[in-house]
Amino acid sequence: MKILIICGSPRKNSLTRVLTDLAHTYAKEKYADAQIEYLDLGKYPVDNFRGFEEEYSQQTKDAIKLVESSPILIIGTPVYNGLLSSALKNLFEHMNYKALDGHIAGFIVHSSGTISSLQVEGQLMALMTYFRVVSNPRAVFTSKDRHFDAQGNPTDAEVTKRIHKLVDETVSMFPHDKKS
C-alpha cells in the first residue's frame, strides 16, 4: 500500500504544511508497513504546465510519477481568493486523466475564514471526479484565527484528531484486495 501526502501550498511559512506534516507523521506511525511519501509543492515546485507534448524537468516528471503511483492521496490546500492553490491545480494539469482511475483521496483545506472552505472542497471533489478518484466525503477544514496561534502552531487538539481520522478513513476506503 502506498500513501502520498501532498502539500499544495507554495508558501515558505505555510499553515497547510503544518497540517500535512501532521498527516504525514501520523501515517508513518500508524501504517508502518505501507510506503508513505510526501510531496511538498512549496519545497519541490512543479514546472508550469505547457501541454503534454512539452519537455519538463526531472523534478516535475518525478512528481507526476509519484502521484500516479500512489493509490491513496491526502491532499492539503490553502484557499486563495476562494480557490484551491494554483500550485496544486498545476500539478494535476500534468496528469493523464486515466492514470488516477481508482485512486482514493482525502482533503485538508486551510483558509483565513470558514466561508470559502466548502467551495474549495467542492472544487477538489470535482477535480477528483474528473480523474475518477474516489473522494472521502469528510474533509478537514481549518482557519488561521480559530486553529493556530500567532507563531503558526496548532491550538486545537481536535484538528489533530480530525486529521488522524481523515487519514484512517481514507485508507479504509481503499479496496482490501489491493492493499497487499
The 10s digit of each residue's pLDDT in 80-110 is: 988 999 999 999 999 998 999 999 999 999 9
Cell numbers for 99, please give them: 492514470
- 68 versus 152: the higher-pLDDT residue is 68
Structural domain total, the chain:
1
Which CATH number characterizes residue 159's domain?
3.40.50.360
Q: How many CB atoms lie within 10 A of CB 59?
A: 12
Instruction: List 76's β-bridge partners, or say none.
Output: 7, 108
Instruction: Return the SS3 of 148.
Output: strand
Residue 171 lies in domain? 2-178
Q: Which residues contact 69 (CB under 8 A, 6 or more apart)?
A: 2
pTM, two decimal places: 0.94
Cα distance from N-terminal residue to C-terminal residue, the chain: 6
Residue type, 79: V
